[in-house]
Amino acid sequence: DCVQTCTATDGKVYDQPVNKLKERIDAFYLMTDFGLDRVPFTERELPFGLELDGNVGVRYVRSRVNGTGTMTFTSYSKTALYDAEDPNNSAGYVQSSIVQNTSVDASTTDVLPSLNLATWLRPDELVLRYSVAKTIARPPVQQLLPASTCVYDERAADLDSDGTQRCNGVIGNPALKPRKNVNQNLSLEWYPNRDTMFSLAYFNQKGKVAQFITEGVSG
């Protein structure tokens, strides 16, 4: 009877501690292919008789996360019998703990354009390719979910502890933004025959929103 909810000693019904998170991602994209042998809106051919092929597209992504994390709060309060010379004496402090579920609800929306181009410098043998795209990478669940134990300890100074408040583990941030990059790729590919390929490529990745960082907070 106490798996999901339970009646406490005060007669009230409470949710049992639980960690759960649901992530929903809705996405769609539009893309079109094209081929050019002339300069657009003119009658002039491309230089050196080149032909340009490619595609351009855009992807729309909406991500939403919601769920529940369990936070434990523990306090160590001094009593009248507290002795600074013996801070761990059980008569000198009272330990209290409370476990509480916390809600998680956040959403992000991203528009991701992309472009791919290719031109054959020598038909069916030598091709120059270029691509550019905006990309995202969602943070992992453990970086989103607030689930940890936090402690308030009045004995901190006598225990040589760093501050009266501290937390263990990682307290996630449900509003954490995804990592965002603009990726570019340039390659020259040579196909001397049907069984052989040589390629020279250059790749550049520029971060717009950097990787998540776990940051410690004290005091």
Q: What is the pLDDT of residues 176-217, one digit of tens each?
A: 888 999 999 999 999 999 899 999 999 999 998 888 887 776
From first to last of its 219 residues, what are the pLDDT tens digits of the chain?
788 899 988 999 988 888 888 889 999 999 999 988 777 767 777 777 788 899 999 999 998 888 888 889 999 999 999 998 898 898 999 999 998 888 888 888 999 999 999 998 888 899 999 999 999 988 887 788 888 888 899 888 888 777 788 887 778 887 788 899 999 999 999 999 989 999 999 999 999 888 888 777 665
Who's near 219: CB < 8 A, 6+ residues apart?
Answer: 162, 163, 165
CA distance linking residue 163 with residue 176, whole number of Å: 26
Cα atoms in the 13 Å half-sphere on the side-chain side of 109: 0
Joined tokens for residue 201: 């490529």
Q: Tell me, what's the pLDDT at 197? A: 95
Helix H or strand E segment including 144:
none
